Structure 1
Amino acid sequence: MLVHICCSVDSHFFLEKLQHDFPEEKLTGFFYDPNIHPYSEYQLRYLDVQRSCKKLGIDLLEGEYDFENWIDAVRGLEKEPEKGARCEVCFDKRFITSAKKALELGEKKITTTLLVSPLKSQEQLKRVGDDFHEKHGVEFIAVDYRSGGGTQDQSRVTKEEQLYRQDYCGCLFGLTMQREQQDKLMDEMFSPISGQTLPASIEERLEMYSYRNELEDKSIEYKIIKQKFLNYRQFNFKLISGKKDVLDAYALSYSTLPRKKAQGRIEFAAHNIHYFNREEIKLITLEFFNKQNSTNYKSVKELIYNPLSYEQELTFRKEINNTDYDLSPIIVVENIPDTKLTIQLDATTYEDTKEKIIIL
């Protein structure tokens, strides 16, 4: 039986149940989910599915990540709600591809872990699956593992196996609507030009779960916990000298301005820190930055495209301000300008939760 897999949270419990209920069937997993966006989220979910299938002794195949074709397939349905017409088109596309893979492999049966997801309509899935059976001759196995306490069992398995528990279906459009309803920043879509790993980002989770797999390969016991913290995202930043001369400048992480703009001049300097006469803003030279961080940046532009890690920046920020709770802008420039300055900084801080590995 070919089993279309969407994520480990759905698949691990689902596959365990299939192994129990269909002991005569050789199960083959097929991870085909071109709807998942961004690609880093796709990589993270596939990584966890690989681990899950390895633990269950199930062969796993990966389908093509043809995201652009998926976008074309759902065009015009972007505003459809969860379980609406867009989802049905999405199921069609994934089932057709899965059915063709089943025929290619000589399989006569197919099912999908989407059946166990509380965000999906089982009736909708069964309708599409039965249609595939009629057209392609591949039987769709519509098992119901949600009822009778199944959802609770699934949650237990997810916790016991420390699976990656994503908090959105995977679709860009579903995510957009979900974050709008939550009135929450859609920070999954942030990808800085610097390539810096942002706190609580998908990239950070991908690094953490890769590390988790390394620990398991070495038989090192661990626990994944969650912690609340103050997150930060910088949307744009510009430093203007005089009326229109834009200077190369870098604003350290957790730099904020309440009104997104400040105008003024350097008022005084002390201990290589130059104090602006507005909004507690501080400017430092690249030379001082290099000295304090044991770095060798040749220009501020190089710093912009290859910054320190977030942890290193926060350590440096604490050295400058002698506190963990400072949100004032700290700006790195090559030379301190002796002109009127305009600082444009659009950034936000917000309560968030991230995962962390504890070695036992």
Structure 2
Amino acid sequence: MLVHICCAVDSHYFLERVQEEFPNEELVGYFYDPNIHPYSEYRLRYLDVEYSCKRLGIKLIEGAYNLEEWLKKVKGMEHLPEKGDRCTVCYDDRLDTTVKKAQELGHDKFTTTLLISPKKSQEKLEKIGNNLSSLTGLEFIYRDYKAGNGAEIQGKKVKENSLYRQNYCGCLFGLTAQRQAQKKIMDEMFNPISKQILPESIEQRLELYIKRNALEENGDKYKIIKQRFLNYRLLSAKVIIAKQIVPSHIMCYSTINRNKMNGRIEYEKDGIHYLNREEVKIISLETFNTLAYTEYKSIKELMYNPLDFDAEVEVRQQIVNNPYDLSTIIVLDEVIDAKYEIELNAQTYEDIKEEII
């Protein structure tokens, strides 16, 4: 039997039930989900499914990540609600491709873990699966493992196995609508040009679950816990001196009122230059190198090869001596006595992240 897999949160308990019900059946998992976006989220979900299948002793095959083809299929349906026609096209694509793979591999049965997902239409999935079954002769295994206390058991399995519990279906358009309804920044789509790994970003989660796999391999004791914290995203910024934009590095947790200000240096101490407005502080690259024990040759080098986020927070705290300070700190190649125009659009917001202890 070929089992289409969408994610480990949905698949782990589903696969356990299929194993129990079909003990003599060779199960093969097929991860085919071109709708998942961005690609780093796709890699994270595949990593988690790979981990889950290994624990269950199930062979796993990865399908093609043909995102562009999927986008063409749902063109014009971007703003439709979840479980609408866009999702139907998505079900069609994934099940049709699964059936073709099952035929290629010589399987006579197929099913999908989408059937247990709380955000998917079982009625539509059953209709599509039965239609493909009548066209190909392959048996579609329709099961409602959510019935009874299935959802509760599924949740316990996720926790017991330390699986990645994603907070959106995976589709860019579903994510957009969900974050708009929540009035929450869509930080899953942030990928700074510096490639700095940001708190509670997909890349940070990927690092965490790679660490989980290593701990599992070594048989080490661990637990994944959740922490509430103040998150930060820099959306845009520029520094203008004498009507010229100059290279600048805006340190994390920098904010200003109304996103725009101008001012002059009012005071300097220990290499820190204090502007006369908005609590803005400016330091030279030389001062930054001293504080961070680095040897950056230029601001552009710092911009494209920054410290990791936690290390930058430590440098910031040396400057402001206050872990709750949100004033702007700017690093320049050279600090000069002139009028500074600063535009900075950033957001701070309460968030929750996972950590391994």
Distance in structure 2 (CA, Å) of the matches to 1:123 and 1:322:
58
Q: State the shift of 1:266 in Å.
A: 0.8
Equivalence for 2:254: 255
Deviations along 1:164-185, one digit per CA (max 9) or x if unpaired, are 0001000000000000111111
Equivalence for 1:266: 265
SS of residue matched to 2:204: helix
SS of residue matched to 1:135: helix
Q: % of aligned pairs identical?
A: 57
Q: State the shift of 1:102 in Å.
A: 0.1
Distance in structure 2 (CA, Å) of the matches to 1:271 and 1:48:
48
Distance in structure 2 (CA, Å) of the matches to 1:78 and 1:249:
37
Equivalence for 1:345: 344
Distance in structure 2 (CA, Å) of the matches to 1:89 and 1:71:
11
Q: State the shift of 1:323 in Å.
A: 1.2
Verify the 8 A CA contact 1:241 1:337 in the aligned structure 2: no
Deviations along 1:286-332, one digit per CA (max 9) or x if unpaired, are 01111111111110011111111110111011111111111100100
> TM-score, normalising length from structure 2?
0.99
Instruction: Look up the equivalent residue of 1:115 and give its one-letter code.
Output: L
Equivalence for 2:29: 29
2:63 equivalent to 1:63: yes
Equivalence for 2:163: 163
SS of residue matched to 2:326: coil
Distance in structure 2 (CA, Å) of the matches to 1:349 and 1:183:
13
Distance in structure 2 (CA, Å) of the matches to 1:298 and 1:338:
22
Instruction: Look up the equivalent residue of 1:190 and give its one-letter code.
Output: F
Q: State the shift of 1:80 in Å.
A: 1.1
2:148 equivalent to 1:175: no
Equivalence for 2:325: 326
Distance in structure 2 (CA, Å) of the matches to 1:257 and 1:292:
24
Equivalence for 1:219: 219
Equivalence for 1:294: 293
Instruction: Look up the equivalent residue of 2:290 and give its one-letter code.
Output: K
Deviations along 1:322-354, one digit per CA (max 9) or x if unpaired, are 111111001000111221110001001000000
Q: State the shift of 1:159 in Å.
A: 1.0
Instruction: Look up the equivalent residue of 1:27 and give its one-letter code.
Output: L
Equivalence for 1:311: 310
2:54 equivalent to 1:54: yes
SS of residue matched to 1:337: coil
Q: State the shift of 1:198 in Å.
A: 0.3
Equivalence for 1:81: 81
Equivalence for 1:3: 3
Deviations along 1:9-45, one digit per CA (max 9) or x if unpaired, are 1100000000001112110000000000000000000
Q: State the shift of 1:136 in Å.
A: 2.1
Distance in structure 1 (CA, Å) of the matches to 2:248 and 2:202:
27
Q: State the shift of 1:60 in Å.
A: 0.3
Distance in structure 2 (CA, Å) of the matches to 1:110 and 1:287:
63
Distance in structure 1 (CA, Å) of the matches to 2:117 and 2:312:
40
Distance in structure 1 (CA, Å) of the matches to 2:343 and 2:300:
18
SS of residue matched to 1:71: helix
Deviations along 1:260-281, one digit per CA (max 9) or x if unpaired, are 0111111121111101011000
Instruction: Look up the equivalent residue of 1:274 and give its one-letter code.
Output: H
Distance in structure 2 (CA, Å) of the matches to 1:168 and 1:229:
20
SS of residue matched to 1:78: coil
Paired residues, number: 357
Distance in structure 2 (CA, Å) of the matches to 1:251 and 1:219:
42
Distance in structure 1 (CA, Å) of the matches to 2:322 and 2:265:
23
Deviations along 1:195-230, one digit per CA (max 9) or x if unpaired, are 000000000000000011011111101000000000
Distance in structure 1 (CA, Å) of the matches to 2:322 and 2:287:
20
* Alignment RMSD: 0.7
Verify the 8 A CA contact 2:291 2:318 in the aligned structure 1: no
SS of residue matched to 1:259: helix
Verify the 8 A CA contact 2:264 2:340 in the aligned structure 1: yes
Distance in structure 2 (CA, Å) of the matches to 1:72 and 1:180:
24
Equivalence for 1:235: 235
SS of residue matched to 2:316: helix
Distance in structure 2 (CA, Å) of the matches to 1:42 and 1:111:
21
Distance in structure 1 (CA, Å) of the matches to 2:118 and 2:239:
49
Q: State the shift of 1:138 in Å.
A: 1.7
SS of residue matched to 1:222: coil
Distance in structure 1 (CA, Å) of the matches to 2:257 and 2:215:
43
SS of residue matched to 1:103: helix
Instruction: Look up the equivalent residue of 1:336 and give its one-letter code.
Output: V
Distance in structure 2 (CA, Å) of the matches to 1:271 and 1:118:
57
Instruction: Look up the equivalent residue of 1:245 and give its one-letter code.
Output: Q
